[in-house]
Structure 1
């Protein structure tokens, strides 16, 4: 994609033109598929450190013995998007995820994942610090989610909960250097977040959820790739007692996750009602604080305005009817949902 694309409302004239702007993504050129905020390709200005981080991930994923063959297939077919975070500056991450969410609602990108590379720390953090940073990032994204239905999502303690942003549910995998035994969760010198939309796990021909047998094959491959047995919290979406959040960031010693999820479901509408009853001079921004572990300001997202980045203004905005057609299979029978699991 020569020069990349800087997304703006002026690019949009109709849904067909919106979809065609994605044609510049080259399956053979990973840098053409970089997203940074509302920019793609060369316009995303990838930093110099990103090359080494990508090469490390690619070496792992393209190994014939790599456990998750879904990831291997995605890399081979060029069905991966990439992004990056310099230092701990996540101000552009919500816009990046908005762009990704709009792309994966299009038929040609419904099988795409996105890998978010974080700049390697001079000294790798402890496992506990990466854990806190990871959940701070997901919390931040949820707090600024432009989807008006975000408040209505179930609690993480509910079996139906999955992380969602801009209306797209994704299974999230955190890989970081602090994994010493679980090599499948260590993909390079810096933290890497993998967001896998639920559509990735649906067969494009049959519209059926990929079966449990495929999931079991991944589990078997983990036994030889990792130096530790599969984590006890790994499960299958929809199974009684299975909780998705426990599988996002695993312990490296097979200790079960805490009973309480670090992620807090937002209640923006309720908070707005409370704020309306409080005098303006006494109100403070609930997120204007510095996370002592992650080091970034939770209130720093205020420069990004979700309404200004609404789907109607995006060159990747799908036609409403097509969006429904592409995603109604995700609401298949309860039986199919119980056949769905993630790694």
Structure 2
């Protein structure tokens, strides 16, 4: 759709009318669904009635709904397998000037009985993790980790602030938008002034805080912050507690590159020193004849599992052919590790 963005008249003719929300439903690579699931119209109406209220705290969302700058999608049951294709389409559309300010709300089919807050929390993070794990963008492997202030959830190259709303919010009413879980993906462009090309000012964001105090039955959450501010972490704001309890646990989201290394390392650690290590299991590669690594390949596999190679190899071979950690290796290797330790200390100092 990048090539289509060059023609202004073509963009205008393709932009859906604000009167029919169904024309803005994305499912896979399809834009516009005449017959959404039977449960979805009520879920949409509930969200619409809440967000369109002029007192609703997030006026970014109110403006988007009024202007028809909202896309929608849905998840049947707990099947999130189709979300990646939907989000890829959204990312392509968001790259066009006509849709740059658009958000997308993904409605999940309501449960027969509302789930616990923890259950919604877990389902939310499983969904983001799944999207990241199947992200077609090769740059996804090199995104910052969530504990980095620069991290924001990204899919197909599009950075978005993600809000999870669900029925288990009883006091934080601004995060309860209907009978089922709703994920709101807001591209960073939403928070940039179109005229000045600057991030929306702190004054406007402080107004949102003031409106939260009027709308919710609880004070604004202590984890709420502003992107780019020292100490601010975006992931803590995606799924809030219903009480004003700051998140102290580690982010459930794991960069897929680090996840792969951890999985490989765990597999390698579990293998007995004299057990065969299968190449396909450890390296994700085609196993050699017989499917078993030679002692030399075993060491290479162990090093790959830890993300190191060459002079940084932490494992070597014992005389009996078993693997051995370098901490038990000969004194000849000691200067190498000592110098590496000094370099690490100097970098962190």
TM-score, length basis structure 1 = 0.74
Deviation at 1:278, TM superposition (A): 5.4
Whole-angstrom CA distance in 2 between matches of 1:119 and 1:281: 48
Question: Alpha carbon RMSD of aligned pairs, Å?
Answer: 2.6
Deviation at 1:13, TM superposition (A): 8.3
Deviation at 1:276, TM superposition (A): 2.4
Deviation at 1:259, TM superposition (A): 3.4
**Residue 100 (str. 1) matches residue 90 (str. 2):** yes
182, 185, 190: which one pairs with 2:175?
185
Whole-angstrom CA distance in 1 between matches of 2:8 and 2:25: 18
**Residue 42 (str. 1) matches residue 58 (str. 2):** no
**Residue 33 (str. 1) matches residue 62 (str. 2):** no
Secondary structure at the counterpart of residue 164 of structure 2: strand
Deviation at 1:42, TM superposition (A): 2.6
Deviation at 1:59, TM superposition (A): 0.5
Deviation at 1:40, TM superposition (A): 1.5
Residue 14 to residue 68, structure 1, CA distance change in 2 (3 Å): closer
The structure with the larger Rg is 2
| Alignment: residue pair count | 272
Partner of 1:219: 209
Secondary structure at the counterpart of residue 261 of structure 1: coil
* Superposition misfits of 4+ residues, deviation over 2 angstroms: 11-22, 268-274, 276-283
Partner of 1:128: 118
> What are the ranges of 5 or more consecutive residues in structure 2 without an aligned counterpart?
265-279, 293-349
Partner of 1:246: 236
Secondary structure at the counterpart of residue 48 of structure 1: coil
**Residue 146 (str. 1) matches residue 150 (str. 2):** no
Structure 1 range deviating more: 253-262 or 207-216:
253-262
> What are the ranges of 5 or more consecutive residues in structure 1 without an aligned counterpart?
1-10, 284-343
Whole-angstrom CA distance in 1 between matches of 2:156 and 2:183: 17
Deviation at 1:206, TM superposition (A): 1.1
The answer as to whether partners of 1:12 and 1:18 remain within 8 angstroms in 2 is no
46, 50, 55: which one pairs with 2:45?
55
The answer as to whether partners of 2:26 and 2:33 remain within 8 angstroms in 1 is no
Whole-angstrom CA distance in 2 between matches of 1:29 and 1:39: 16
Residue 118 to residue 213, structure 1, CA distance change in 2 (3 Å): same
Deviation at 1:92, TM superposition (A): 1.0
